Amino acid sequence: MKATARASANIALAKYWGKRGCPGNYPAVPSLSVTLTQLTTQTTVEFIDRLPRDEFVLNNVLRSDRARDRVGHLLDEVRARMLRPLYARVTSTNTFPTASGLASSASGFAALSAAATKAAELSWSNERISDLARRASASAARSIYGGYVLLRAGPEFGTKDELSATPVFSATHLPLVVFVCVVTDREKEIGSTAAMLRTQEMSPYYHSWIEHAERTCRQIQAAIEQRDLEHLAELVESNTLAMHASALSVGILYATEVSARIVEVVRRLRACGTMAFFTMDAGPHVKVFVRPEDATKVCLELERVEGVLRVTKAAISDVSIRWESDL
Ligand code: ADP
Ligand code: DP6
């Protein structure tokens, strides 16, 4: 009753930000992401006889806080389907900063969902594993799949329906290089869940965000389908800035002066004819998308930005979940 899985983080081109009012962690808006090669989580789950409660070790530290409770809640859903429910020992490592705006919850809960269902000997489909991951952290539903991945918004009213992500294009349909410009290794002060809940409760712009997000997600999918990078660049930047504006309106500022400097460099590159565009999540790091042929030149520019700790080069991965036998 032990299994190990590795999952890749994903970066949203169209952001999920806001939840439906009903229980079950359904997103209020559709989102579309790419699964990355370089940022991964590896998780081992072992269900053990007579263990008095779940244990969770994250990056070599035994956790007894909300991080452990979130893992425990996901395991409760798995245990509810086990003939002989047991507590589990969970060990997980992220290859990149945790809780910092680089989607550790996405790869973390995707790897946990895959490993836990396998350790419990449940032969679940990817759709069902994606739904399980979404209930823990909605962005994690997308990390079950590779390539370009869509997660629809949840239903308006309460329901127990499954909602899983769907792969929509392969990486080869529109191959892009992603530079993750890491600005800090520190954890953020306010996590994504709390920040989006505060935005939806208090922001005067929340309803405009919802309309904008529904429209731009559709347009982003169409621009990817048509391989229209100019339009895609405008839409992705507009989507991320609208998300950050809604958070800013309730006092949450994730970007720093270093983030702003990176954005300036991306704008300058584009004005000078190099296709590059940025997106930012709930943290100060900036992710820059470029054509593979422009990667070397853009990387040098990004590494030169004052305050950037390091630039991690990633590609879009067509596979996310890997099992112990493949590692
Ligand atoms: P991020 O931008 O890194 O996704 P979030 O605030 O969305 O930040 O989520 C961070 C939370 O995700 C952590 O506080 C922890 O609860 C959970 N998390 C991160 N890594 C893992 C992991 N490997 N396994 C399980 N949970 C994880
Ligand atoms: C800004 O998936 O971490 O990265 O469902 O509450 O766990 P919960 O939120 P989470 O939020 C991700 C927010 C985002 C945008 C995105 O990845 O789509």
Is 144 close to ligand 1, i.e. is its CB under 6 Å away?
no
Q: How remote is the CA of residue 281 from the centroid of ligand 2, in Å?
A: 8
Q: Which residue has the tokens 């950037």?
A: 308
DSSP string computed for 266-319: HHHHHHTT--EEEE--SSS-EEEEE-GGGHHHHHHHHHTSTT--EEEEEEB-S-
Question: Measured from the CB, is residue 192 less than 6 Å from ligand 2?
Answer: yes
Fold match, 2-170 / 177-315: no
Q: Mapping DSSP to helix (H, G, I), strand (E, B) and coil, where does residue 221 land?
A: helix
pLDDT at residue 326, as a whole number: 78
**Probe target for ligand 1 pocket from 98, 113, 196, 280, with the most ligand atoms within 8 Å of CB:** 98
Other residues' Cβ atoms within 10 Å of the Cβ of residue 210 = 17
Q: How far is the CA of 48 from the centre of ligand 2 (A)?
A: 31
Judging by DSSP bridges, how do beta strands 310-315 and 177-182 pair with one another? antiparallel
Ligand closest to CA 29: 2
**Ligand 1: residue whose CA is nearest its atom 3:** 99
Q: Are 29 and 199 in contact (CB under 8 A)?
A: no
pLDDT the model gives residue 257: 98
pLDDT of residue 325: 79
Which residue's alpha carbon is at the smallest distance from atom 1 of ligand 2? 281
Ligand 2 pocket member 15 (CB < 6 A): yes
User: Measuring from atom 4 of ligand 1, which residue has the nearest CA?
Assistant: 103
Question: Rounded to 5 degrees, what are φ and ψ at 22?
Answer: -80, 160
Q: Does the CB atom of residue 9 touch ligand 1 within 6 A?
A: no
Q: Is 105 in the pocket of ligand 2 (CB under 6 A)?
A: yes
Residue whose Cα lies nearest atom 11 of ligand 2: it is: 192
pLDDT by residue, tens only, the chain of 327 residues: 999 999 999 999 999 999 998 889 999 999 999 999 999 999 999 999 999 999 999 999 999 999 999 999 999 999 999 999 999 999 999 999 998 889 999 999 999 999 999 999 999 999 999 999 999 999 999 999 999 999 999 987 766 689 999 999 999 999 999 999 999 999 988 999 999 999 999 999 999 999 999 999 999 999 999 999 999 999 999 999 999 999 999 999 999 999 999 999 999 999 999 999 999 999 999 999 999 999 999 999 999 999 999 999 999 999 999 998 777
Cα–Cα distance for residue pair 199/203, rounded to 1 Å: 5
Hey, which CATH number is domain 2-170, 3.30.230.10, 3.40.309.10, 3.40.50.2000, 3.40.630.40?
3.30.230.10
Map out the domains of the chain as residue ranges. Answer: 2-170, 177-315
Which atom of ligand 1 is least distant from the CA of 94?
23
| CB of residue 94 inside a 6 A radius of ligand 2 | no
Tell whether ligand 1 has an atom less than 6 A from the beta carbon of residue 44: no
- The total of other beta-carbon atoms located within 10 Å of residue 188's CB is 18
What H or E segment, with its residue span, contains residue 240? helix 229-248
Q: What is the pLDDT of residue 327?
A: 77
For ligand 2, mutation pick of 31, 70, 105, 130 (most atoms within 8 Å of CB): 105
Distance between CA atoms of residues 121 and 64, nearest Å: 27
Query: Which burial class, exposed, middle or buried, applies to 270 when counting CB atoms under 10 A from its CB (0-12, 13-18, 19+)?
Result: middle
Query: Residues, the chain, total?
Result: 327
Pick the residue whose CA is nearest to atom 17 on ligand 1.
105
Specify the CATH number for 177-315; select among 3.90.550.40, 3.30.70.890, 3.40.50.720, 3.40.50.450.
3.30.70.890
